[in-house]
Amino acid sequence: MKFALSDEGTDDDMKPVGVAVVGAGYWGPNLVRNVLSCPMTDLRWVCDLNEERARSAVGPRSTVAVTRSLDQVLSDPGVEAVAVATPPETHFEIGMACLESAKHVFMEKPLASSVAEGEKLVDVAAQNGSILMCDHTYCYTPAVRKIRELIQSGAMGDIQYFDSVRVNLGLIQSDVDVFWDLAPHDLSILDFILPDGHQPEAVAAQGADPIGAGQACVGYLTIRLSAGAIAHIHVNWLSPTKIRTTIIGGSDRMLVWDDLHPSQRLSMYDKGVDLSASLSGEARRESLISYRVGDMISPVLPEVEALQGSIQEFATAIREARQPLTDGHAGLRVLRMLEAASISLRSEGAAVPIVL
């Protein structure tokens, strides 16, 4: 997405967005790198409780300021926006401080640690006229954007199922279980691509902790969708191999997205199962099933870093005074599914309604 300006734009329209990154741990350096490389943003600060870690994130020759003090960052009038990459339990406190200082906020997933916290962040952002964006990074990959386009255009037909596998060996987290660590990616993708009329209605979660880590390390989510479709998500910290695969079945076509297959990330199959439309009830169930087998096509997709697209969307939304594609409400919808999954896990896998 390019940053388009009208002939009547002001100097402020053309000025890069002043950004501070808070958190220089696992994900923070990626944010730093992408904010620095984006022509629409100006990195002014990196803030971390470990100042040496902040200096390491910006590099020894950088002129970007580093600090341990969030107050120092928020007092800088040149900072219009803050990108937060800290542990999930700190998202609410840091996000609220930024919003109350009239800053726009780019929040690493998940948006907060609970629906109640997420709702407060969304409300304060709306009251202050601030942009609140959740970093649902995968929604900015060319593959997921293409999947959304195909589904929204009707090329897939009616969505029948969504089946994803996200497994690897580690990183085992001490503060959240495998659902809150890995599933936000797949839940945000599901939320992003679903057409109207296919909303999540209930979730059932099953998990196991075979190594005694103190939280679920292997998990399965089954989500009932409106219009009779179903979604299934498998997440696992204990797999010997890394798998990132999603299969989406439609009444007309089926999609396979293999994020670890760079030469053919997305494959669309003209395959399906047809029942005679002239029959109904028991007669239809007993009729011969016909299998449709057609061509497979693999769309050509650009190789671009998703986080760069996410940062560009954030800056563009600020300058255009509009909501980003993955705004606070999108983050809140994912939180509602995660919280329902946690309730289901404590209830031995019982289906829990999702109120979106």
- Out of 37-41, 145-149, 194-198, 266-270, least confident range: 194-198
Q: Which residues have a Cβ under 8 Å from the Cβ of 218 and sit 6 or more positions away? A: 178, 207, 208, 209, 210, 235, 236, 237, 238
Ranges assigned E (strand) in 92-250: 104-108, 132-135, 159-169, 200-208, 218-225, 230-236, 238-250
Residues 110 and 137 sit within 8 Å (Cβ to Cβ): no
Q: Are residues 197 and 346 in the same domain?
A: yes
pLDDT in tens, 318-337: 999 999 999 999 999 999 99
* 1 within domain boundaries: no
* 3 within domain boundaries: no
pLDDT in tens, 141-195: 999 999 999 999 999 999 999 999 999 998 898 889 999 999 999 999 999 999 9
Q: Are residues 73 and 154 in the same domain?
A: no
Q: Which residues have a Cβ under 8 Å from the Cβ of 346 and sit 6 or more positions away? A: none
Q: Which amino acid is at 300?
A: V
pLDDT for res 277: 59
Q: Which amino acid is at 37?
A: S
Tell me which residue has tokens 């942009």.
131
Confidence at 3, pLDDT banded by 50, 70, 90: very low
Does the pLDDT of residue 1 top 60, yes or no?
A: no
* 332 within domain boundaries: no
Q: What CATH number has the domain bearing residue 251?
A: 3.30.360.10
Q: Are residues 322 and 298 in the same domain?
A: no
Residues 245 and 261 sit within 8 Å (Cβ to Cβ): no
Gyration radius from the chain CA atoms: 22
**DSSP 8-state secondary structure symbol assigned to residue 279:** -
Determine which helix (DSSP H) or strand (DSSP E) holds 125, and give its type and residue range. Answer: helix 115-128
Confidence at 219, pLDDT banded by 50, 70, 90: very high
pLDDT in tens, 271-322: 777 766 555 566 555 566 667 677 889 999 998 999 999 999 999 999 999 9
Q: Are residues 184 and 297 in the same domain?
A: yes
Q: Are residues 228 and 343 in the same domain?
A: yes
DSSP 3-50: ----TT--HHHHSPEEEEEE--SSSHHHHHHHHHH-TTEEEEEEE-SS
* 117 within domain boundaries: yes
- Residue 265 φ then ψ, to 5°: -65, -40
pLDDT for res 81: 98
**DSSP 8-state secondary structure symbol assigned to residue 261:** -
pLDDT for res 284: 54
* 43 within domain boundaries: yes
Tell me how many domains the chain contains. 2
Q: Are residues 105 and 190 in the same domain?
A: no
| Structure-token pair, residue 12 | 């402020």
Average pLDDT, the chain: 92
CA 256, 257, 260: angle at the middle one, nearest 5? 130
Q: Which residues have a Cβ under 8 Å from the Cβ of 8 and sit 6 or more positions away? A: none
Q: Are residues 76 and 124 in the same domain?
A: yes
Q: Are residues 255 and 286 in the same domain?
A: yes
Partnered with residue 205 across adjacent β-strands are 221
DSSP 133-168: EEE-GGGGSHHHHHHHHHHHHTTT-SEEEEEEEEEE
* 2 within domain boundaries: no
Q: Are residues 197 and 236 in the same domain?
A: yes
pLDDT for res 287: 61
Q: Are residues 35 and 65 in the same domain?
A: yes
Q: Are residues 268 and 287 in the same domain?
A: yes
pLDDT for res 264: 93
Residues 208 and 216 sit within 8 Å (Cβ to Cβ): yes
- Domain of residue 43: give its range: 11-138+307-327
- Percentages helix, strand, coil for the chain (3-state, rounded to 5) are 35, 30, 35
* 6 within domain boundaries: no
Q: What CATH number has the domain bearing residue 121?
A: 3.40.50.720
Q: What percent of the chain has pLDDT over 70?
A: 91
| Single pTM value for the model | 0.90
Q: Which amino acid is at 267?
A: S
pLDDT for res 5: 32
Q: Are residues 32 and 98 in the same domain?
A: yes
Neighbour order of strands in the sheet with 104-108: 65-67, 41-47, 17-22, 81-84, 104-108, 132-135
* 155 within domain boundaries: yes
